[in-house]
Amino acid sequence: MKLLTKENMKQLPPLYAQEGKGYESIAYVKLFTPDSDWTWYVTEFDPDTKTCFGLVDGFEKELGYFSLNELENVKGIMGLNIERDRWFTPKTLSKIIEEGN
């Protein structure tokens, strides 16, 4: 599975486009490990460097940068690849946290 489709890449704003919005930034893509509790919500993307920015929900929730190249090569504890939630609907990070997703 492609973590970001061409449609996703067109939809995602460039890095720094939502700067200053904090948790009111919109996440357009949700990536997750099916065999652990890690989730990445992508709010911005640079197609040249394949760098993403968004909310990382792992040991704790934090905003930060992450590499799409690295995520494409990560395998979970059971050897499963990271996947894209095909049914995710774009929403603000505050809404994601409120819903407990």
Please, is 69 exposed, middle or buried when counting C-beta atoms within 10 Å of its C-beta (0-12, 13-18, 19+)? exposed
Low-confidence ranges of the chain (pLDDT < 50): none
Please report, for the chain, the start and end positions of each structural domain, with discontinuous segments joined by +.
Answer: 6-86
Report the C-alpha gap between 51 and 46 in whole angstroms.
5
* Whether pTM exceeds 0.85: yes
pLDDT at 101: 65
